[in-house]
Amino acid sequence: MGQTPRLFVISGPSGAGKGTLLARVRKRHPNLGLAVSATTREPRPGEVDGVSYHFLDEEEFSRRVRAGEFLEWANVHGHRYGTLKGDVDALLASGTSVILEIDVQGALNVLRLMPDAVLIFIEPPSLEELERRLRQRGTEDEGQLRLRLRNARSELELADKYDERIVNDDVDAASDRLLQIIRSYEG
């Protein structure tokens, strides 16, 4: 008997460590499909189009919104980000569980459309540690960093709407817990 494919949604403030935990979990669960989001933000050094994100200009993003290609999309930290419906449907239809790394607005929209989705919230140990991680990552300018820290407060207020919460303090413990949660829902 195979596992039941599930749709997982992971959210949390920018810098909480979602991408870090997902990369670790996917090494240990290679069949977990990751839907590549689209965004209008500029690529960071080292990011690859079609792998990190589908990097779209505003016009192309709007065209895809009008064409109904997005399962969800939202304005996040001053840019648009969206999940392409076709990618998610194809993975689920092939029997593969899928994980979306998206913001809180997107997560709650996905839950409305797909009530069986499992929502997992990643919390930083503190706002001070969140700031330290974002500064150490060094990918945001000061204005963007401040915006992300401001938005973190309202995102954290929605954590109780999620099925599961993980505090990403020790990265090994947090990635073990994320994998354990995913396996438990796959049955």
Ligand X SMILES: Nc1ncnc2c1ncn2[C@@H]1O[C@H](COP(=O)(O)OP(=O)(O)OP(=O)(O)O)[C@@H](O)[C@H]1O
Q: Which is nearer to ligand X, 3 or 144 (CB)?
A: 144
User: Which of 6, 7, 9, 16 is in the footprint of ligand X by CB under 6 A?
Assistant: 16
19 annotated ligand binder:
yes
Listed as own residue / partner, the contacts of 168-174 with beta carbons closer than 8 Å and 24 or more positions apart are 168/12, 168/16, 168/17, 168/20, 168/21, 168/122, 168/123, 168/124, 168/125, 169/125, 171/17, 171/20, 171/21, 171/24, 174/17, 174/21, 174/122
Is 137 a residue that touches ligand X (CB under 6 A)?
yes
Q: Which of 81, 145, 168, 177 binds ligand LQESDW3C (CB under 6 A)?
A: 81
Report 19-78 residues binding ligand LQESDW3C (CB under 6 A).
37, 41, 72, 74, 76-77
Q: Which does 103 bind (CB under 5 to 8 A by kind): ligand LQESDW3C, ligand X, none?
A: ligand LQESDW3C
Output b/e per residue, 165-179; b: 16+ Cβ within 10 A: ebbbeeeeebbbbbb
Q: Which partner, ligand X, ligand LQESDW3C, none, binds residue 15 by CB below 5 to 8 Å per kind?
A: ligand X
Residue 82, class by beta-carbon neighbours within 10 Å (0-12 exposed, 13-18 middle, 19+ buried)? Answer: buried
How far is C-alpha 165 from the geometric centre of its chain's CA atoms? 14
Site for ligand LQESDW3C contains 7 (CB under 6 A): no
In the complex, the smallest distance separating the C-beta of residue 139 from ligand LQESDW3C, rounded to whole angstroms, is: 7
Instruction: Determine whether the annotation assigns residue 14 to a binding site.
Output: yes
Question: What's at 175, amino acid-wise?
Answer: S
Span of 56-64, 79-87, 169-177, 178-186 interacting with ligand LQESDW3C by CB under 6 A: 79-87
What are the start-end ranges of the H helices in the chain?
A: 18-28, 58-66, 85-93, 104-113, 127-137, 142-156, 171-186
By the criterion CB under 6 A, which residues form the site for ligand X?
Answer: 12, 14-20, 133, 136-137, 168, 171, 174
By the criterion CB under 6 A, which residues form the site for ligand LQESDW3C?
Answer: 11, 14, 37, 41, 72, 74, 76-77, 81-83, 101-103, 105-106
Residues belonging to the binding site for ATP are 12-19
